[in-house]
Amino acid sequence: MLPNVLQRNASDHVPVLAEEVRDLLAVRPGETVVDATFGAGGHSSLLVSDLEGDGKLVAIDRDPSARAYFDRFKAGKTIQTRFLRGEFSLVLNQLAANDVQADAILLDLGVSSMQLDRPERGFSYAADAPLDMRMDTAAELSARELVNEADERELGLIFRRYGEERYARQIARAIVRRRAERPFERTTDLADTIKQAIPTPARFGDGHPAKRVFQSLRIAVNDELGAVEAALPAAVRMLRPGGRIAVISFHSLEDRIVKQYFREQARGCTCPPEFPICNCGQMPVLRDLTRKPVRPGARELELNPRAASGKLRAAVKVA
């Protein structure tokens, strides 16, 4: 039988690993929950059913269109709800600096369906649209500026690091050569240039030839990895003892950051092994709840293929 949340949202937004998030965060009545990447509110809609009474839900999102989803979400809710617009790492750090505490925090990283499914946002290589990719439409840097202004070396590094693109150098060279004739304005112009830059056999490999380059540009434009690195310490500071944090990632670099941070915070003593007693006095801050990432099951993948690369990690604060 399908989880209720998947059945309920099948024709709208489908939150990834929703029931697994609910189980790991184990929200109880009266607690404070922070959904740091609210999006269309799919996860919050499930978590809020466990809050009840005087529970509180704080929703954070940098995308201005998320406010309309939040207004629809909060209608009829008896718990306290609040929407904070901004990049989640900045907002979490502000909340932590003001001693705001939470019992459960969720970060669902990467681009959301509501962004991918709007061609005018320029996230997808599958539709002709302005070359944009900004999660916050008020941000200064867009994919257009990056593609047209970054030098060949910088573009190659972005494609290789964030997209693990095998032909990063060739693609960067082709982009610089083409933009010398006229600047890139549209997603299809960039996708066609990428396709022509790689060897013919590689054009028929795994997925669209532009997939990895578009992903890498999106990550760079929105500083997604930097946001994760800055958000995790702030989120853990906000958690009360016994509080839970869950993070869903869709990229190996994001997952690596989360894995390493959870591991470091769960270590405790950092003294060399040869020390007879602990001199550092460092105690574990977290206890990892998922030694291996939780992945979507076959039934979820059948309903929502976009969940395929999702990985969920969670931890509980012990100190």
Dump pLDDT digits (tens) for 62-71. 999 999 999 9
Q: Domain check: are 109 and 246 in the same one?
A: yes
Confidence of residue 10 (pLDDT cuts 50, 70, 90): very low
pLDDT of residue 12: 52
Distance CA 115, CA 108 (A): 14
Q: Which domain holds residue 273?
A: 4-114+224-317
Residue 225 and residue 254 in contact, taking contact as beta carbons nearer than 8 Å: yes
Give how many domains the chain has, as a whole number.
2
Instruction: Tell me if the pTM is above 0.75.
Output: yes
The CATH number assigned to the domain holding 33 equals: 3.40.50.150
Residue 237 is assigned to a structural domain of this protein: yes
Does 292 share its domain with 153? no
Q: What's the mean pLDDT in 11-29?
A: 88
Domain membership of residue 10 (yes or no) is yes
Residue 7 has pLDDT above 50, yes or no: no
Same structural domain, 160 and 78:
no
| 42 part of a folded domain | yes
Q: Is 58 among the domain residues?
A: yes
Domain for residue 125, yes or no? Answer: no
Task: Quickly count: other Cβ atoms within 10 Å of residue 175's Cβ.
Answer: 23
For range 203-222, the mean pLDDT: 88
Closest CA to 160 of 152, 151, 173, 169: 169
Distance CA 232, CA 186 (A): 35
301 plus 183 within the same structural domain = no
pLDDT greater than 70 at residue 148: yes
Residues 171, 151: one domain? yes
Residues 210 and 230 placed together within one structural domain of the fold:
no
Of 161, 188, 221, which closes a domain? 221
Query: What's the CA gap between 224 and 143, in Å, rounded?
Result: 14
pLDDT for 3 equals 37
Helix (H) or strand (E) holding 187, with range, is helix 187-197
